[in-house]
Amino acid sequence: MKSKKFTLALFIFYCLVLTWIIIFKVQFSFEDLPHFRSLNLIPFSESAIVNDKMNFDEIIQNMLVFIPFGIFMRVLLEEKTLLKQFIPIIFTSLLFEGIQYIFAIGASDITDVISNSFGGIIGIAIALVLSKITRKNWITLINAISLVGGITLTLLTVILLLANM
């Protein structure tokens, strides 16, 4: 469980799930994907405002879904600087937003990039704190939590699949 190879395998699984969530909108059919293209380059405007009030739900969800990304980057790139751990988070978020725009499967929004990036920063911070508290066993702890999360997510996905048959 201490192995970074195991962490890498868990990270790959997480990336597949993240792609399913962000690009495929948790859909099981391409026909159910939204078919529109929009681009918002003004942070915390238009898409973040619903009924003249700031809608924090999507912002918080974007942050939460990227927290594991930050944790994984801290483990996998432990010997790199914090900036080099953070760059893949921003790049991945920009990539997801670009794919959504190119294939017209949703709104591409700078607010999403900001909230995803902030979630990644929170993840890096969580991993830093865990590494200070548990010193030798922090990677094992992260791998164990990630494995339980991955199994739980897989079971929930199977339940969703069965419910949609």
Q: Contact 143/1 with Cβ under 8 angstroms?
A: yes
Is residue 17's pLDDT more than 60?
Answer: yes
Is pTM, for the whole model, over 0.85? yes
Number of domains in the chain: 1
Express the helix, strand and coil content of the chain in percent, nearest 5 each.
Answer: 70, 5, 20
- Does residue 27 form part of some domain? no
- Does residue 59 form part of some domain? yes
Give the CA distances from residue 69 to residues 48, 101, 112, 158, in Å, rounded to whole numbers and listed in that order: 23, 22, 15, 23
The boundaries of the domain holding residue 113 are: 4-15+33-163
Q: Mean pLDDT over all residues of the chain?
A: 88
pLDDT band at 164 (very low <50, low <70, confident <90, very high): confident
- Using CA atoms, how far apart are residues 63 and 101, in angstroms rounded to an integer? 20
Is residue 126's pLDDT more than 80?
Answer: yes
- Does residue 96 form part of some domain? yes
- Using CA atoms, how far apart are residues 38 and 23, in angstroms rounded to an integer? 14
- Does residue 56 form part of some domain? yes
- Does residue 75 form part of some domain? yes
- Does residue 151 form part of some domain? yes
The predicted-structure confidence for 40-58, as pLDDT tens digits, reads as follows 888 887 665 555 677 788 8
- Does residue 22 form part of some domain? no
- Using CA atoms, how far apart are residues 71 and 27, in angstroms rounded to an integer? 26
- Does residue 45 form part of some domain? yes
